[in-house]
Amino acid sequence: MTSFVKLPAVRKSKKGNLPNLIIIGAQKCGTTSMHYYLSYHPQITMSREKELNFFIQERNWHKGIEWYKSNFNSEAKVRGETSPNYTNFPSWSGVPERMHSVVPETRLIYIVRDPIDRIIAHYIHYYAEGLEHRKLSDALKDFNNNIYVCRSKYYMQLEQYLNYFSKSNILITTLEDLYSHRLQTLQEVFRFLDVDDSFYNRKFFKIKHKSNYKRRKNLIGLAISQIPGINIVERLPFDIREKVKTLIYFPFSHKIELPVLENNLRQELIDYLRDDINCLREFTCYNFESWCV
Residue-wise pLDDT for 200-235, tens only, equals: 988 888 755 444 334 444 444 444 444 555 555 656
What would the mean pLDDT of 14-23 be, rounded to a whole number? 80
Burial of residue 140, with CB atoms counted within 10 A of its CB: 0-12 exposed, 13-18 middle, 19 or more buried: buried
**Taking 90 as the threshold, does the pLDDT of residue 255 lie above it?**
no
Has residue 26 been placed in a domain?
A: yes
Has residue 1 been placed in a domain?
A: no
Has residue 9 been placed in a domain?
A: no
Give the sheet arrangement for strand 21-25, strand by strand.
Answer: 44-46, 78-82, 21-25, 107-112, 170-174
Q: Give the CATH number of the domain where residue 85 resides.
A: 3.40.50.300
Q: Decide: 44 and 76 in contact? Cβ < 8 Å.
A: yes
Please give the pLDDT value at position 75. Answer: 86
Tell me how far apart the alpha carbons of residues 79 and 84 are, in angstroms, rounded to a whole number.
17
**Taking 70 as the threshold, does the pLDDT of residue 164 lie above it?**
yes
Domain count, the chain: 1
Please give the pLDDT value at position 5. Answer: 61
Burial of residue 133, with CB atoms counted within 10 A of its CB: 0-12 exposed, 13-18 middle, 19 or more buried: exposed
Please give the pLDDT value at position 7. Answer: 58
- Binned at pLDDT 50, 70 and 90, residue 287 comes out as very high
Q: What are phi and psi of 22, to 5 degrees?
A: -135, 125
82 versus 220: which is more confidently predicted? Answer: 82
H helix runs in the chain, sequence order: 31-38, 64-69, 95-102, 115-128, 136-139, 147-150, 154-162, 175-180, 182-192, 211-218, 230-233, 238-249, 263-284
29 versus 4: which is more confidently predicted? Answer: 29
Has residue 163 been placed in a domain?
A: yes
**Taking 80 as the threshold, does the pLDDT of residue 147 lie above it?**
yes
What would the mean pLDDT of 160-179 be, rounded to a whole number? 97
Please give the pLDDT value at position 204. Answer: 86
- Those residues with Cβ within 8 angstroms of residue 173's Cβ, 6 or more apart along the chain or in another chain: 109, 110, 111, 112, 185, 188, 189
* Beta bridge mates, 172: 110
What would the mean pLDDT of 5-31 be, rounded to a whole number? 75
Has residue 242 been placed in a domain?
A: yes
Has residue 219 been placed in a domain?
A: yes
Please give the pLDDT value at position 128. Answer: 85
CA–CA–CA angle 46, 83, 229 (5° rounding)? 80
User: Could you count the other beta carbons within 10 Å of the beta carbon of residue 16?
Assistant: 12
Tell me how far apart the alpha carbons of residues 107 and 105 are, in angstroms, rounded to a whole number.
7
Report the chain's mean pLDDT, rounded to a whole number.
86
Please give the pLDDT value at position 236. Answer: 64
Q: Decide: 66 and 15 in contact? Cβ < 8 Å.
A: no
Burial of residue 225, with CB atoms counted within 10 A of its CB: 0-12 exposed, 13-18 middle, 19 or more buried: exposed
- Binned at pLDDT 50, 70 and 90, residue 155 comes out as very high
Please give the pLDDT value at position 230. Answer: 52
- Binned at pLDDT 50, 70 and 90, residue 146 comes out as very high
Has residue 42 been placed in a domain?
A: yes
Has residue 14 been placed in a domain?
A: no
Closest CA to 176 of 220, 230, 112: 112
Please give the pLDDT value at position 228. Answer: 53
The whole domain housing 86 covers 21-284
Percent of the chain residues past pLDDT 90, beyond the cut? 71
